[in-house]
Amino acid sequence: MTYFPRLPGLLLALVVMAAPKVVMPQWTRVEVSPELGTFYADRLARELRTQGLEVITAEELGTLLGIERQKQLLGCNDEAKSCLAELGNALGAEATLVASVARLDQTFSTNLKLLSSQTGRVLAEEHLESKSERALLEDLSSAAEVLARPLLPAPPPGTGRVRKLALVPLVAGVAFAVGGGVSAGFAQSRFDAIRSPMTTRYADAVTLASSGETFQALTWVGVSLAVTCLVVAGVMFFLGGG
């Protein structure tokens, strides 16, 4: 029963963490086959999903809105982007991604424009000049990161500083690892001395054994602390905060 009051907060966190939604209608093509245009659109959609966005493609739009309505929305004046904003609003999306690709000789010229569904304002814009079909695939991967940036939450304050501070536990972990290795060497030398023919007195053997066990314990402590520090350093570096 004591955990129930926390449920609204958890549900709110899930809502906040929902991926921003982007609508991507069918691309405008010039001297590019429909199959190739669809292939490039799917590639960009996949790259945007990798960045953390939810993407509704042209095929999904045809199912949700109907082909004719989609054509009406796409035929609007680019200067008055209210109809493109309507397209995103109709599906509860934060933005609409309008794309065109044209083959000029052996060069592919691609324009990508991300429009706000609320205001029609241009959030991000990319122009690509690709020397080949394969080069365009690589350029789309780079463009996806730029296009996704305005819709993704900003990194928490201090993220860079926390990542830099990861050097502290890293250095400590290395120092503990070196210390543990040195202790292990001392422990091994004590136990080797016990087995040596030069050690004949029982009292000397007991002293060596006691000293070896101490160094052995220090070895385990050093290794444990080294592993802990390295794990902390990894968490601080890769997660960057929190």
Q: What is the pLDDT of residue 154?
A: 66
Q: What is the pLDDT of residue 20?
A: 83
Q: How far apart are CA 190 and CA 25, in angstroms?
A: 75
Q: Which two tokens stand for residue 52?
A: 């953390």
Burial grade of 112 (CB within 10 A; 0-12, 13-18, 19 or more): buried
Q: What is the pLDDT of residue 4?
A: 40
The H or E element spanning position 153 is none
Q: How far apart are CA 151 and CA 54, in angstroms?
A: 11
DSSP β-ladder status, 95-104 and 107-116 = antiparallel
Q: What is the pLDDT of residue 68?
A: 53
Q: How far apart are CA 67 and CA 85, in angstroms?
A: 18
Q: Which pLDDT tens digits describe the chain residue by residue (242 residues)?
A: 434 444 444 444 444 456 788 888 888 888 888 888 888 888 888 988 888 888 888 777 766 655 555 555 555 544 445 565 566 666 677 788 888 889 988 889 999 988 887 777 888 888 989 898 888 888 888 888 888 888 877 655 555 567 778 888 889 989 999 988 898 888 888 888 877 777 667 777 778 788 888 988 999 998 999 999 999 888 888 776 54
Q: What is the pLDDT of residue 8?
A: 44
Q: How far apart are CA 106 and CA 185, in angstroms?
A: 66
Q: How far apart are CA 149 and CA 138, in angstroms?
A: 18
Q: What angle do CA 87, 91, 94 make, to 5 degrees?
A: 80
Q: Where are the beta strands (DSSP E) in the chain?
A: 21-23, 28-30, 54-56, 95-104, 107-116, 122-130
Q: What is the pLDDT of residue 65?
A: 59
SS3 state at 102: strand
Q: What is the pLDDT of residue 224?
A: 92
